[in-house]
Amino acid sequence: MPGDDGVRRSTVTINDVARAARVSPSTVSNLLNGRDERMRARTRRRVLKAMDELGYQPSRVARQLRTGVSHVIGLVVPSVANPFWGGLARVIEAEALGHGYQVLLCNSERRPDRERSYVEVLWADGVRTVVLGTSLPSLSHLVPVIERGLCLVAFDRESQPDDPPVVNVSVDNRLGARLVSSHLVSLGHRRIGFVSGPIATVSRRQRLAGYRDALAEARLPLDDKLVWAEGEPDGFGDVEGAELGREGMAALLSLPDPPTAVVAINDIYAIGAISAAQEQELSVPKDLSVAGFDDIALARLYNPPLTTVRQPLEDMARFVMDVVRKAHDTAPAAPSSIAVAPQLVVRASTGAPPRQRRQRAAPKRSA
């Protein structure tokens, strides 16, 4: 079907777009290949409008053959059923589109075989950069494709001694867990629990270490009975996190001396933990304080709004795209690890322990 200017959509070329936008073909090419940093915003809008009106679809294969660069990146996450990973996918895609890249999204459930399968398929389709949301201790299952030249950015993971050449991007999980645990200590809590699925990932190990750091700094005993870290051995709770949080909280509340506060491994676990408390007719935070990690969109809307640790996803997405663009412009980035500073966000799900509340409310006796 011809377009408004008589050009058939199936045969639209860069030259057609350039004429419609009143720019040179090289300007259109620069935009298509992500070289538009110095392009005026109105010029960029005019080119994009012309492409849309003419129905221009750049050939990904032809562009890769011409430039040697694929402007498609793979994003492999555990599961978008966890809103944190859905949020990451959103900000990565927005940042990528802003630089002329497209994103292919895959869900791996943190299974090494599925991670490798998706990465191999992406490689076979010409994708040379993959952002992998994973925190597995070993990436040995990806060494063969990395040795072929894949640029791999591991997200939510700090570097490990036997790592292949990858770039690791993560929030400082240990610091974040220490901040939120110290917040509970500062409120007067002395029995603080920790709820997680299996401690089988790098990030979870770091968060548990941060929790223990805070207790040690406060000279509080480390009671292993207050740490609930159960579930399927190869499961990580990305899908069933709320149910695991509910189960873990119920177990801690059944102890002879239960905690007055709980740190959950993430916000979804925290929401499940609050549900378990409410099932036992406990009020949060009046009877029990609960804190999470991640600051997903639901955290501030939940009842009560959730105290948590914010991961600066927008900043992290920009760093990831810097790595991607540098790898495409020159050579794959050198192996490195960056840990971004977390931010404690205090909301209504945490407060003083019940005993201190009663003491504060008690009237003073006259002399």
Q: In which domain, by residue range, is 180 found?
A: 173-311+345-359
| Structure confidence by residue, pLDDT tens digits, 169-192 | 999 999 999 999 999 999 999 999
Residue 290 belongs to some domain of the structure: yes
Same domain, 75 and 161: yes
Same domain, 177 and 279: yes
Same domain, 37 and 125: no
Written as one string, the DSSP assignment of 79-127 is: -TTSHHHHHHHHHHHHHHHHTT-EEEEEE-TT-HHHHHHHHHHHHHTT-
Whether 185 and 214 have beta carbons less than 8 Å apart is answered as yes
The tokens for 160 are 């490990």
Return the bridge partners of 176, or none. none
Same domain, 132 and 189: no
For residue 56, the model assigns a pLDDT of 77
**List of residues 6+ apart from 112 with CB closer than 8 A:** 136, 141
Written as one string, the DSSP assignment of 216-277 is: HHTT----GGGEEE-S-TT--STTTHHHHHHHHHHHHHTSSS--SEEEESSHHHHHHHHHHH
Residue 123 belongs to some domain of the structure: yes
For residue 70, the model assigns a pLDDT of 63
For residue 39, the model assigns a pLDDT of 83
Sign of the CA dihedral running 178, 197, 290, 347: positive
Whether 130 and 151 have beta carbons less than 8 Å apart is answered as yes
Residue 65 belongs to some domain of the structure: no
For residue 45, the model assigns a pLDDT of 85
The tokens for 11 are 């045969």
Same domain, 218 and 306: yes
Task: Select from 58, 78, 95 the last residue of a domain.
Answer: 58
Residue 4 belongs to some domain of the structure: no
**List of residues 6+ apart from 362 with CB closer than 8 A:** none
Residue among 216, 186, 142, 111 nearest 350 (CA):
186
Residue among 255, 306, 253 nearest 282 (CA):
253
Same domain, 190 and 241: yes
Which CATH number goes with the domain that contains 352?
3.40.50.2300
Which CATH number goes with the domain that contains 53?
1.10.260.40
Same domain, 161 and 189: no
Residue 111 belongs to some domain of the structure: yes
Residue 86 belongs to some domain of the structure: yes
Residue among 362, 165, 195, 167 nearest 275 (CA):
195
Residue 2 belongs to some domain of the structure: no
For residue 365, the model assigns a pLDDT of 43
User: Chunked in runs of 10, what are the mean pLDDT values of the chain (367 residues)?
Assistant: 43 87 87 72 86 73 50 92 93 92 92 93 89 93 92 92 92 98 98 95 96 98 95 65 95 97 97 97 97 97 97 93 79 74 98 69 42
Same domain, 225 and 145: no
Same domain, 195 and 80: no
Written as one string, the DSSP assignment of 3-42 is: -TTS-BGGG--HHHHHHHHTS-HHHHHHHHTT--TTS-HH
Residue 276 belongs to some domain of the structure: yes
Same domain, 87 and 151: yes
Same domain, 219 and 350: yes
**Number of structural domains found in the chain:** 3
Report the distance separating Cα 150 and Cα 117, nearest Å.
Answer: 14
Same domain, 239 and 354: yes
